[in-house]
Amino acid sequence: MQFDSGRDAMYQKHPSNVICSLKYANRHWIVDAEENDRPALSSFATEVRRAYKPSREDRRPIHASHVKAHKMFAHAGKDVIDHLSGNVQGITLDKDVRALRMHECETCIQSKSAAQVSRRASDNQATRPFYQIVVDLVQLIPTGETCYNGDRYLLHAVCEYSKWHEAVTLVNKSLPVVIAALKALLHKIERQYGYTVIVLKVNSDRGYGLKLYRIARQAGLKIELRAPDTPEQLGAAEKAGNIIITKARSLRIKAGLPKSLSNELAITATKITNVTPTRSIDWKTPYERVHGKQPSVAHFSQIGCKAYVLNKKLKKADKLESRTFVGYLVGYNSSNIFRIWLPKKNQVIRVRDVIFQRSSLYNNQERFQKEDVIQEEIKILNILHTVEVEADPEEVTKQQQHQQLSKDQSFLPTPEPSDRGTVPPQEWTGDDRDSDRASEPTEQISVEDQQDAEDQDTGEQIQDQLLDEL
């Protein structure tokens, strides 16, 4: 816009396009319009009255639809928008149009999508033990580490009807190893428990594959594979596996056992769970659901307690040797066969003849051993340094001659003991001596004996002196 001082007007782009006229009054330019275009003064009063509102007064309420309120309140749900008017002030909603639901709003679909977990009961419910089992693979130990015997994985199965747990440890989760373990599990259920598995739920892990379908087709089984990245479909197996690992972790921490025994502790936790009352089966034990009777736990002891195992490998002539060796309880094979871990050899053995010291755990023994080592180091540090002493060459020569004489006389037979001890070889007189040597002068023999005695006394004095200096 430009100002035309000759006409006292404002125009835009071209002088003929006059926007308004200006009038100078009281040192101000006043905007004016053509006489025919001037509005009435009353209209100015109305506009001023409408536009002006003191800040001390409350704001006017917002009039909005449910759809607008849904967008205004960060895409809240329909129930939230319905309860908005009665719980907040400053907004009035139209009741004609309802709020959008999640599947009707594209923004809600993109921002609120989550896993769709179904809580509906399955149509194929188990009515007897082992009708339907769920199998899962659990990694026992971090990558790069192994248990004491090389195991790394746990193949875990649980019966959805009886809550009975079965577990076997594996070296790896390759296809041949997993398939062989599943076959052995199915045969065990059929032969030992007398039940046939109908439905097998497994994880769609790379350890199973298409070969599992062929095996199931040959055995007449029904397999239900969960969808990828949806562990909720195997919720029973995931929860049961978590129970086993939690129990094994508790056993290890309390006893202070090393993590290399994770496989033994996982199997032991499985056996303990099978004889533990469970809420989901009316506080009965899985053992009672499967076998029809209550289990006996009279052979149980605290895992990790000290065990004195009868040593059956002792020599018959070794009468004064200890009859036992020490290990620690890590599991059970039956009611009278126990699995004992030997720390020094890092091996687990199966024994029957064993006595448990239930108040002594492995972590306590390890602490005592560390204290003994510390005390032993303190005693060693208190010993003074030894001082080297140079021996006289003549005395060393005499000692060597005396040792050589003793070696030369070592062929002589051992003399019979006398009342005061053993007769020295020099005083022994045998029939196999030479007549020439027997006829030697007595004085010469006595001189030699006296010289040997003096040499021996000198050697003993030197040895005593060295010991005293040390």
pLDDT at 216: 73
* Banded pLDDT at 310 (limits 50, 70, 90): very high
As a whole number of angstroms, the distance between CA 209 and CA 201 comes to 13
As a whole number of angstroms, the distance between CA 44 and CA 68 comes to 34
Letter for the amino acid at 283? W
Spatial strand order of the sheet with 165-170 comes to: 165-170, 153-159, 132-139, 199-202, 222-225
Lowest model confidence (mean pLDDT) among 145-154, 280-289, 385-394, 444-453: 385-394
**Residue 278: CA count within 13 A, CB half-sphere:** 19
pLDDT at 272: 94
As a whole number of angstroms, the distance between CA 86 and CA 84 comes to 6
Lowest model confidence (mean pLDDT) among 112-116, 124-128, 180-184: 112-116
Distance of CA 322 to the CA centre of its chain: 37
More confident residue, 212 or 331: 331
- 257-289, pLDDT tens digit by residue? 999 999 999 999 999 999 999 988 999 999 999
Residues 6+ positions from 197 with CB-CB distance below 8 Å: 130, 131, 132, 133, 186, 189, 190, 221
Q: Is 259 exposed, middle or buried (0-12, 13-18, 19+ CB in 10 A)?
A: middle
Closest residue by Cα to residue 331 from 319, 323, 341, 321 = 341
Pairing of strands 222-225, 305-310: unpaired
Query: In the numeric block, which tokens belong to residue 72?
Result: 């205004």
Q: Is 95 exposed, middle or buried (0-12, 13-18, 19+ CB in 10 A)?
A: exposed
* Banded pLDDT at 428 (limits 50, 70, 90): very low
CA separation (Å) from 55 to 58, 207, 281? Answer: 8, 72, 68
Q: What is the DSSP letter of 172?
A: -
As a whole number of angstroms, the distance between CA 391 and CA 383 comes to 24
Q: What is the DSSP letter of 427?
A: G
Cα 293–299–305 angle (5° rounding)? 145
Supply the mean pLDDT for the chain: 76
Q: Is 6 exposed, middle or buried (0-12, 13-18, 19+ CB in 10 A)?
A: exposed
pLDDT at 23: 80
Q: At residue 340, does pLDDT exceed 90?
A: yes
Query: In the numeric block, which tokens belong to residue 292?
Result: 């029809």
As a whole number of angstroms, the distance between CA 162 and CA 88 comes to 53
Pairing of strands 222-225, 199-202: parallel
The whole model's pTM is what? 0.58
